[in-house]
């Protein structure tokens, strides 16, 4: 199944028209129609907009993973900007498109985060006495 076919199927599952999707994604109807019919291939930023409009992932549209709407709901919660710190929002912006990163880049980030977690866990908590001194 092509990217365009996945987009079309997902759109129809949601019961929305090309017009509604175009409005949600801020893209033209003709551009979306061309993608659905295989006449054009979207750039990753456009594919990201389409995935967001269809409440799915770029990876799903590329055929790399099964549909997991529940997982996307968790990401939506994380990405809500209202009550999140500036630093947290900046981190989310930096990892946007993680699904499209190379395997090496993903592993590098995950390794870094694991190391930082170990360092944080090894530090004494505030208000506790460190008897190892």
Indicate the average pLDDT of the chain.
80
Place of tokens 């019919």: 37
For residue 123, what pLDDT is reported? 76
Tell me the angle at which helices 29-36 and 44-53 cross, rounded to the nearest 10 degrees: 100
> 61 with 107, same domain?
no
| pTM (two decimals) | 0.51
Q: Which domain holds residue 94?
A: 86-122
- Round the CA-based radius of gyration of the chain to a whole number and report it: 20
Between residues 68 and 24, the one the model is more confident about: 24
Domain count, the chain: 2
Give Cβ neighbours of residue 130 (< 8 Å, ≥ 6 apart): 124
Using alpha carbons only, what angle is made at residue 103 by residues 99 and 108, rounded to the nearest 5 degrees?
100
* Chain segment 28-70, per-residue pLDDT in tens: 999 999 999 999 999 888 999 999 999 888 888 888 766 544 4
In whole angstroms, what is the distance from residue 27 CA to residue 29 CA? 7
> 91 with 66, same domain?
no
> 58 with 95, same domain?
no
In a domain, 40, yes or no: yes
For residue 129, what pLDDT is reported? 57
> 15 with 67, same domain?
yes
């Amino acid at each position: 199944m092509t990217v365009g076919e996945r987009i079309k199927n997902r759109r129809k599952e949601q019961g929305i028209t090309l017009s509604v999707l175009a409005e949600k994604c801020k893209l033209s109807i003709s551009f979306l129609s061309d993608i659905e019919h295989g006449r054009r291939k979207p750039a990753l930023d456009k594919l990201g907009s389409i995935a967001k409009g269809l409440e799915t992932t770029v990876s799903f549209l590329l055929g790399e993973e099964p549909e997991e709407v529940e997982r996307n709901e968790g990401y939506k919660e994380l990405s809500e900007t209202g009550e999140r710190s500036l630093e947290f929002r900046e981190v989310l912006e930096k990892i946007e498109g993680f699904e499209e990163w190379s395997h090496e880049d993903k592993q590098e980030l995950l390794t870094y985060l694991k190391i930082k977690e170990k360092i944080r866990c090894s530090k004494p908590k505030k208000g506790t006495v460190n008897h190892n001194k």
